[in-house]
Copies of this chain bind each other. A is one copy, B any other.
Amino acid sequence: MSTTLLTGPDVAAHSTRESCWIIVHGKVYDVTDFLDEHPGGSKIILKYAGKDATEAYEPIHPPDAITTNLPLEKHLGAIDASTVAKVVKEVTEEEKHRQAMMDARPPLENIINMHDFEIVAKAVLPEKAWAYYSSGSDDEITIRENRTAYQRVWFRPRILRDVSKVDWSCEILGVKSSLPVYISATALGKLGHPDGELCLTRAAANHNVIQMIATLASCSFDEIMNAGAPGQQFFLQLYVNGDREITKKYVQHAEKRGVKGLFITVDAPQLGRREKDMRMKAVDDDAGAEVQKGQNVKKDEGVARAISSFIDPSLSWKDIPWFKQITKMPIILKGIATAEDAVLAYEYGVQGIVLSNHGGRQLDTARSGLEILIEVTDALKARGYFPDPKFEIYVDGGVRRASDVLKAIALGAKAVGVGRPFLYAFCSYGQAGVERAIQILRDEFEMNMRLLGARTISELVPEMVDASSLRAHTVMTPADNLFNITYQPLTVAKFKESKL
C-alpha cells in the first residue's frame, strides 16, 4: 500500500472512465479497472470520479469492502484533507422535511407498540431507505400475509392458575435469552442510522437478547463483535458465496469469534423483484443497494435482477455435509417453506430450521412461516422427529406483538425472529428505540402469559390456540358495485344543530 500523501487536484485529474480515482475514508483508490466489476454498476462510481465518495460509500458497504476487493497496487495513498475542495452541500427540501419530522417525533415514552416505530421510521427515513427496508416482492401479498396470518389464530386462555410469577425467558440453541425472540438479520442498517447495526448490538447487550448478524450488514462482522459486551451472544446469517473458500474463511472466523449458530439463508438463490425499490430507481442509479455488497456481478439488461456470486444459486442439499465439516457451530437452514424440506433438513442432520419467506421479499404468494409451522410439526411428528431437543424450529415474519410470539410457540416454535420492528426502532430512536421495543415486548409477554394462564414457555401448548382458520386463504368475490351504489346505509340518530 502506498504511503504517498495526495492532494485534491491530483485526484480531480482522474475523473473519467479512462482514469478514475476516488477518495474513501481519507484514502485514494484507483478504481478504473474495477468500474465494470462493481456490483452496483459503474455509473454510481463515475458520479464521484475524482472526488470524495465516502458519504455515498458508507451506508452500503462495510468499511473493509474496498480494501478487501481492490488489489493493493490500486491503493494510492492518503489524501491531504486540506487540499480537497469542500463541497458546499445543499440541504435538499426532502432533507429539510425529514429533519423537521425528526424534531417532531413523538417522545419515546409515547411509543407503546411496534407499529409506532414503523410510522416514525416512515416519516424520518430518506425515501430510498424506506423503500428498501419496507418493500416486498411483486404485489407484496406475502409481506402482508405474514402479518394477517397471526389474526387467523385465536387464543384459548386457561383461567384460575396461579400466575403471580410468569417467566418468558428461554434457551435458543442452548443460549439463554430473556425473550423467546431473537433479533433477525436485516441488511444495510446505516441507510437508516449512522451507527447502523451497532444500535442493535448495544441494546441487545443490555437486555440479554441474541442478535443475528447479517452478511449484508453495513457494519462489518468484526465491528459488531467488537462492540459486544462481555458474554454477549450472537448468531450469524450467511449468504453462501459462489467461491466456497470465501465462505469457509468467513464461517470459521465467526466460529472462532464465538458465534453460537450459523443460519444459512436458503430462500434467496436470486433476489426478488421489489417494485417499491425499483420505482425509486434504486436499480438504475444504484443497481440495487443490496447487490453492492457483493462482488463480481454480471449486470443483466434493464430491470433484471442481478445474481451476485455471493448468493450462489447452485447451493443445494449436497453442500450440507461440507458445512458440517468446516464448522462445529450448530447449522440452521433459514427459509424452509414446506414440510418436505423440513423433513429433509432433519434427515440431513442440521440443528434447526427457520420457517420463513424472507420477510416477504422473495417469492410472492409464498405462505407465512406461521402457516407452514402446522404442516411441519405434523410431518415431523408423523416420523417421530418432533419434539426433539436437538432440532429447533423458528418462525419469522410479521411479528408485531408478544401475543404473536406466544401463538408460534404454542404451535411448536422454539423462538421467533423479529427483524423490521427492531430496524425501525433504531432508525427512529437509535439504541434507545431498540431498548424501548424490547421493554414493550417484555411488558406484553408478562401480561399475555398471565392472561393465557401460562407460567412458563413450556406451558404454551397447542391447545391454547385455535388455528383451525390458519390455512384459509380468503379472497373476496369481486364487489357488486351496482348494488353497493344503490344501497343506502343505515345511520344513527341525528343530533340537533349545535350552537358550536
Contacts and interface: CB of A to CB of B under 8 A. Distances in A.
B486 A119 contact: yes
A302 interface: yes
Contact of A401 (B139, B338, B340): B139
B471 A474 contact: no
A478 B115 contact: no
A313 B163 contact: yes
B303 A493 contact: no
27 contacts: A100-B499, A101-B498, A111-B493, A112-B273, A115-B483, A140-B478, A148-B483, A149-B475, A150-B365, A151-B477, A154-B367, A155-B363, A156-B338, A159-B266, A160-B315, A160-B316, A160-B344, A162-B315, A163-B270, A302-B439, A304-B446, A363-B403, A366-B451, A367-B466, A400-B483, A469-B473, A479-B489
A15 interface: no
Contacts of A314: 162-164
A279 B115 CA distance: 14
A106 B97 CA distance: 27
B269 A450 contact: yes
A352 interface: no
B97 A500 contact: yes
Given A151-B480, A473-B151, A493 B141 contact: no
A451 B270 contact: yes
A500 B403 contact: no
A472 to B, nearest CB: 6
A33 B362 CA distance: 61
- Contact residues on A (Cβ < 8 Å of other chain), bracket: 35 or more
B490 A482 contact: yes
Interface of A: 96-97, 100-101, 103-106, 109-113, 115-116, 118-120, 122-123, 134, 138-141, 144-145, 147-164, 266-267, 269-270, 272-273, 275-276, 278-279, 284, 302-305, 312-317, 319-320, 333, 335-338, 340-341, 344, 362-367, 400-401, 403, 439-440, 443-444, 446-448, 450-452, 463, 466, 468-469, 471-483, 485-500
Contact of A367 (B140, B155, B316): B155
Query: Which of A111, A312, A474: most chain B CB closer than 10 A?
Result: A474
A468 B466 contact: no
Contacts of A469: 471-475
A123 B266 CA distance: 43
A153 B266 CA distance: 23
Contact of A152 (B305, B366, B475): B475
A157 B267 contact: yes
A294 to B, nearest CB: 16
B365 A491 contact: no
Nearest to A499: B100
Nearest to A363: B451
A203 to B, nearest CB: 15
Nearest to A267: B159
